[in-house]
Chain A
Amino acid sequence: MQVLLFLAIGILAGYLVRSKRGLLAAASRATTWSLYILIFLLGVSVGANEAVVRALGKLGVQALILCAGAVGGSVLVSCLVSRVFFRAASNAK
């Protein structure tokens, strides 16, 4: 839950510094690098865990199925919603 507090503080801070381009560019670079570090750390803890390494193939299949469900579900529901609420948005032909 602590992370959400940081998110909220960030949004407020971002709003306050919204016109400071240099600062925002620096924040964007920092975002990219902290991501790389975190994903690397995730990899290290995965690699150090033998059970997880052995399950990588299975995890990949699970991911594929969930991905299909996420894309399929969101597309179908948005299709329904656009027919009901956004008449102009459906029929892109």
Chain B
Amino acid sequence: MRNSLIILGCLLAGILGGISGLTPSVLLHPNAAVYVLDVLLLLVGIEVGANPRVWEVLKDQNARILLVPLSAALGTLLGVALCASVIPGVGIKEALAVGSGFGYYSLASVLIAEIGGKSLGVVALLANMGRELATLVTAPLLARHFGRLAPIASGGATAMDTTLPIITRTVGAEYAVMAVVSGAVLTLLAPVLITALLH
């Protein structure tokens, strides 16, 4: 939560700096963000690769667990595709790319801004941040009415970190591994789907 506020603060500071024209123009150079983005993806990979639970699952015989992230991904894409048909000015590809952030707003927004344009990047940031927020707030409600997988699915990629505490508190610690696995799969799927959709 605190992290989301800092991220929003960074965005606002940047917007104000950009409007006022006080920020040095070198920051607007298109390559500036690309280099940092490469470093970021490298770092995200390191964190996933170093997570022992990710590798445990690969050795695990029970592949059924992969149904959880797959159903979360499928549901997300169906949901945003449906939305795209009612929002003027948002194409289905763009909507699918935003949805493919799976709540991983930081990565999704910068990646989408880079290859899909600034406006879509802002939409991706807000929509995916909203997803994390919605999960934090409604997890108990979702679990009660839609089953124990619902908060894990709603959390998307964040089920492995920021929304993990509320998920385990709501549906029980025995679902922690499932949440981490689902989050990790969606974390990896997000950049792959986004680049595939917008390229």
Contact = CB atoms under 8 A, between A and B. Distances in A.
B99 A4 contact: no
B185 interface: no
B49 A62 contact: no
Contact-size category for A: 35 or more
Contacts of B10: 36, 39-40, 43
Contacts of B110: 35, 38-39, 42
A75 B141 CA distance: 11
Contacts of B87: 62, 65-66
B176 interface: no
Contacts of A3: 37-38, 41, 111, 191, 195
B60 interface: no
A42 to B, nearest CB: 5
A4 B192 contact: yes
Contacts of A32: 3
Tell me the dominant secondary structure on chain A's binding face: helix
B10 to A, nearest CB: 4
B46 A45 contact: no
A31 B36 CA distance: 10
Given A36-B6, A39-B125, A79 B147 contact: yes
A18 B55 CA distance: 11
A78 B71 contact: yes
Given A17-B50, A64-B126, A78 B75 contact: yes
B160 interface: no
B98 A66 contact: yes
Contact of B43 (A10, A56, A67, A89): A10
Contacts of B15: 43-44, 46-47, 53
Interface in B16-52: 16-21, 23, 27-28, 32-33, 36-52
B36 A34 contact: yes
Interface in A57-75: 58-60, 62-75
B76 to A, nearest CB: 5
Nearest to B7: A39
